[in-house]
Amino acid sequence: MDVVRKSEALLREITRRPIREIRRLALDLKRLWRLWITGGSARYNKIFIAGCARSGTTLTQRLMGCFEDTFVHRAEAKYTQLDLLDRPEANLVVKRAERSHVHLAKLPSAVGLIYCVRHPFDVLTSSHPESRAQRRFHVTPERWLAEYDALLRLRKTQPGRAIAYVRYEDMIAQPDAMQGRIARAFDLKPRIRFSEDPGNPIRATSLQKWERNEEFRTYLRALPPVFLARLKAFCDEFGYDMPDWVRG
């Protein structure tokens, strides 16, 4: 009976795949038709927001609603959700789910990528309401490393891929300049400035908390040297300073 059940499950999966593919193609054609009858160009954007948790992915997701003709899917989801959105807008945005980094290297070339980064010391010492009862800090070293390795795999697998990097610190310090960079990367038109969005206040108090908190610094100093070396490589690439005790 177990073999029968597994066989039936496999058959169901096989039959579902073509249906999903047909639905994806049908929605793509529908979007192109909408653009054509409204006089727009036969082009639309599918944009996926990725990056480690506590790196500004949620803020970026919310601010993407500041662009014209853009639909932002509010729930976290896999990038395949972009193929299932039956929306009239020309620009579709989805933010990554918790395990999306596992499949990031398979991101289709037709999907644009915004990748959010933040100083890893701030990421590793940030708490979250959903995990506060289980652990002091939301992102474990293992999770951070898995996210970074996923980015490296993506770049190795797709060396020609354009990636729009969003540094959390730049988003906080110069939100409108960052909006301009995103707009140019995906040919978007601002509807309202990031800095003027009343629903998403940008607070500088979230920056470099680890420098002002002895508990945070003690935790960071206790991290394994091998892991700290990986953090340093990340910081060297994205322009983050590290304290002397790490560089030494």
Instruction: Provide the pairing of β-strand 112-117 with 45-51.
Output: parallel
- Set out the domains of the chain in order of their start, with CATH numbers: 1-43 (no CATH), 44-247 (3.40.50.300)
pLDDT tens-digit series, residues 68-117: 999 999 999 999 999 999 898 999 999 999 999 999 999 999 999 999 99
Q: How many CB atoms lie within 10 A of CB 210?
A: 21
pTM of the model: 0.84
Give the CA distances from residue 96 to residues 64, 78, 90, 99, 213, in Å, rounded to whole numbers and listed in that order.
14, 6, 20, 8, 30
CB 58 within 8 A of CB 126: no
Residue 81 and residue 102: Cα distance in Å, rounded? 16
Give the CA distances from residue 136 to residues 119, 140, 205, 208, 224, in Å, rounded to whole numbers and listed in that order.
18, 10, 20, 17, 18
Regions of the chain with pLDDT less than 70: 1-43, 247-248
